[in-house]
Amino acid sequence: MERIDLNGLISDKFYGVTAGGESGNDARICRYSWILALKESCKDTGICFKFKQTGARFEKDGTVYNIPRIKQHEQARRAGIDSFPFQRKFEEYN
C-alpha cells in the first residue's frame, strides 16, 4: 500500500472520496499522513471526504497500531476528519 496523489485527477465532477486501510492478517500499513493528504486534496477541490476505516495496521506519528477489525471503523470515525461541504447525509454518499 502506498500514498495516492489525487491532485490534478479529482474535480467537481466527483462527489467525494472514501479512504481507508486494508483489513485481514496480511494487511499492509496505512499511514495517517496519506489519509490527511487525500482529505486536503478533497478540501482543495470542494468535494466530500470520508475516512471509512483505519485498517488492521495503522501508522500515526511513527507508531504502528494493530487494530482489531471490530474497532477499525470506530477509530476512523473518532479521528473526526470527515468533510461534507454539501448538505447531504452520509448514507447518500457512502
In this prediction the pTM is 0.83
pLDDT the model gives residue 77: 96
pLDDT the model gives residue 59: 98
Domain presence at residue 54: yes
pLDDT the model gives residue 91: 53
- C-alpha pair distances (Å), 78 with each of 15, 53, 81, 82: 23, 10, 8, 10
Per the structure, the count of domains in the chain is 1
Domain presence at residue 53: yes
Domain presence at residue 5: no
Per-position b or e across 23-44, b if 16+ CB within 10 A of its CB: beeebebbbbebbebbbebbee
Domain presence at residue 51: yes
Domain presence at residue 64: yes
pLDDT digits (tens, 9 = 90+) for 33-45: 999 999 998 888 8
Domain presence at residue 84: yes
pLDDT the model gives residue 10: 72
pLDDT the model gives residue 78: 97
Low-confidence ranges of the chain (pLDDT < 70): 1-2, 12, 86-94
Query: CA nearest 33: which of 3, 57, 53, 56?
Result: 3
pLDDT the model gives residue 47: 87
Over its C-alpha atoms, the chain yields an Rg (Å, rounded) of 13
Domain presence at residue 45: yes
